[in-house]
Amino acid sequence: MTDLIRSYYQAFNSGDREALLALLHPDIVHEINEGGVEVGLPAFRAFLGRMDRSYQETVEDLVVFAGDRPGRFAAEFFIRGTYLRTDEGLPEAKGQEYRLRVGAFLEVRDGKVARVTNLYNLAAWTRMVCG
Protein backbone atom coordinates (compact mmCIF):
# COMPACT_ATOMS: atom_id res chain seq x y z
CA MET A 1 0.00 0.00 0.00
CA THR A 2 2.95 2.36 0.33
CA ASP A 3 2.95 2.30 -3.49
CA LEU A 4 -0.47 3.99 -3.44
CA ILE A 5 0.87 6.74 -1.18
CA ARG A 6 3.91 7.22 -3.43
CA SER A 7 1.59 7.32 -6.47
CA TYR A 8 -0.48 10.03 -4.76
CA TYR A 9 2.59 12.25 -4.38
CA GLN A 10 3.86 11.41 -7.88
CA ALA A 11 0.50 12.50 -9.29
CA PHE A 12 0.73 15.68 -7.21
CA ASN A 13 4.18 16.43 -8.62
CA SER A 14 3.10 15.70 -12.20
CA GLY A 15 0.35 18.30 -12.01
CA ASP A 16 -2.13 15.73 -13.34
CA ARG A 17 -5.02 16.55 -11.04
CA GLU A 18 -7.33 13.95 -12.60
CA ALA A 19 -4.76 11.20 -11.93
CA LEU A 20 -4.45 12.42 -8.35
CA LEU A 21 -8.22 12.55 -7.85
CA ALA A 22 -8.54 9.01 -9.26
CA LEU A 23 -6.47 7.76 -6.30
CA LEU A 24 -8.87 9.23 -3.75
CA HIS A 25 -11.84 7.58 -2.06
CA PRO A 26 -15.15 9.30 -2.95
CA ASP A 27 -15.56 10.25 0.73
CA ILE A 28 -12.00 11.59 1.10
CA VAL A 29 -11.48 13.47 4.37
CA HIS A 30 -9.01 16.33 3.98
CA GLU A 31 -7.75 17.91 7.18
CA ILE A 32 -6.11 21.18 6.19
CA ASN A 33 -3.15 22.50 8.19
CA GLU A 34 -4.46 25.08 10.69
CA GLY A 35 -7.76 25.00 8.84
CA GLY A 36 -10.96 23.09 8.57
CA VAL A 37 -11.96 19.65 7.43
CA GLU A 38 -13.35 19.09 3.94
CA VAL A 39 -15.07 15.90 2.83
CA GLY A 40 -15.59 14.44 -0.64
CA LEU A 41 -14.04 14.61 -4.08
CA PRO A 42 -15.74 17.87 -5.12
CA ALA A 43 -14.29 19.64 -2.08
CA PHE A 44 -10.82 18.19 -2.73
CA ARG A 45 -11.01 19.23 -6.40
CA ALA A 46 -11.94 22.79 -5.35
CA PHE A 47 -9.06 22.84 -2.85
CA LEU A 48 -6.60 21.81 -5.58
CA GLY A 49 -7.95 24.58 -7.80
CA ARG A 50 -7.40 27.17 -5.06
CA MET A 51 -3.90 25.86 -4.41
CA ASP A 52 -2.96 25.79 -8.10
CA ARG A 53 -3.98 29.44 -8.48
CA SER A 54 -1.73 30.60 -5.64
CA TYR A 55 1.13 28.10 -5.49
CA GLN A 56 3.38 26.04 -7.71
CA GLU A 57 4.65 23.20 -5.53
CA THR A 58 6.68 20.01 -5.73
CA VAL A 59 7.16 17.29 -3.12
CA GLU A 60 10.84 16.44 -2.52
CA ASP A 61 12.67 13.89 -0.37
CA LEU A 62 9.53 11.84 0.27
CA VAL A 63 9.68 9.15 2.96
CA VAL A 64 6.59 6.97 3.50
CA PHE A 65 5.98 5.06 6.73
CA ALA A 66 3.51 2.20 7.14
CA GLY A 67 1.70 2.08 10.47
CA ASP A 68 1.21 -1.00 12.57
CA ARG A 69 -2.52 -0.78 11.89
CA PRO A 70 -3.72 -1.72 8.39
CA GLY A 71 -4.44 1.23 6.15
CA ARG A 72 -2.58 3.84 8.21
CA PHE A 73 0.43 5.67 6.80
CA ALA A 74 2.57 8.71 7.43
CA ALA A 75 4.82 10.68 5.12
CA GLU A 76 7.54 13.23 5.63
CA PHE A 77 8.79 15.44 2.82
CA PHE A 78 9.81 18.92 1.82
CA ILE A 79 7.48 21.04 -0.25
CA ARG A 80 9.37 23.31 -2.63
CA GLY A 81 7.21 26.06 -3.97
CA THR A 82 6.66 29.45 -5.47
CA TYR A 83 3.99 31.74 -4.07
CA LEU A 84 2.28 32.97 -7.25
CA ARG A 85 -0.88 34.78 -6.19
CA THR A 86 -1.95 36.10 -2.80
CA ASP A 87 -3.97 33.52 -0.89
CA GLU A 88 -6.79 34.81 1.31
CA GLY A 89 -5.61 35.82 4.77
CA LEU A 90 -1.92 35.32 3.96
CA PRO A 91 0.93 37.70 3.07
CA GLU A 92 1.12 39.26 -0.38
CA ALA A 93 2.46 36.99 -3.12
CA LYS A 94 5.41 38.31 -5.10
CA GLY A 95 6.81 35.11 -6.57
CA GLN A 96 8.58 34.16 -3.34
CA GLU A 97 10.22 30.75 -3.22
CA TYR A 98 10.14 28.45 -0.20
CA ARG A 99 11.13 24.98 0.96
CA LEU A 100 9.22 23.71 3.96
CA ARG A 101 9.16 20.41 5.88
CA VAL A 102 5.72 18.75 5.91
CA GLY A 103 4.33 15.79 7.80
CA ALA A 104 1.26 13.97 6.56
CA PHE A 105 -0.99 11.25 7.89
CA LEU A 106 -2.96 9.19 5.41
CA GLU A 107 -5.58 6.50 5.63
CA VAL A 108 -6.40 3.98 2.91
CA ARG A 109 -9.80 2.35 2.52
CA ASP A 110 -11.08 0.20 -0.35
CA GLY A 111 -7.74 0.64 -2.15
CA LYS A 112 -8.03 4.44 -2.24
CA VAL A 113 -6.65 7.29 -0.14
CA ALA A 114 -9.51 8.06 2.27
CA ARG A 115 -7.89 10.67 4.52
CA VAL A 116 -5.08 13.19 4.16
CA THR A 117 -3.93 15.31 7.10
CA ASN A 118 -1.09 17.72 6.34
CA LEU A 119 0.91 19.43 9.07
CA TYR A 120 3.56 22.12 8.63
CA ASN A 121 4.87 25.17 10.41
CA LEU A 122 2.82 28.07 9.01
CA ALA A 123 4.90 30.62 10.95
CA ALA A 124 8.08 29.29 9.28
CA TRP A 125 6.42 29.51 5.85
CA THR A 126 5.32 33.07 6.60
CA ARG A 127 8.90 34.02 7.53
CA MET A 128 10.11 32.51 4.25
CA VAL A 129 7.70 34.50 2.09
CA CYS A 130 7.98 37.73 4.07
CA GLY A 131 11.77 37.77 3.98
Supply the pLDDT for residue 67: 85
Supply the pLDDT for residue 37: 96
Domain hosting residue 33, numbered range: 2-130
Supply the pLDDT for residue 34: 86
Residues in the chain predicted with pLDDT less than 50, given as ranges, are none
Q: What is the pLDDT of residues 100-113, one digit of tens each?
A: 999 999 999 999 99
Supply the pLDDT for residue 14: 96
Residue 23, domain CATH: 3.10.450.50
Supply the pLDDT for residue 35: 84
Supply the pLDDT for residue 128: 95
Query: Residue length, the chain?
Result: 131
**How many domains is the chain built from?**
1
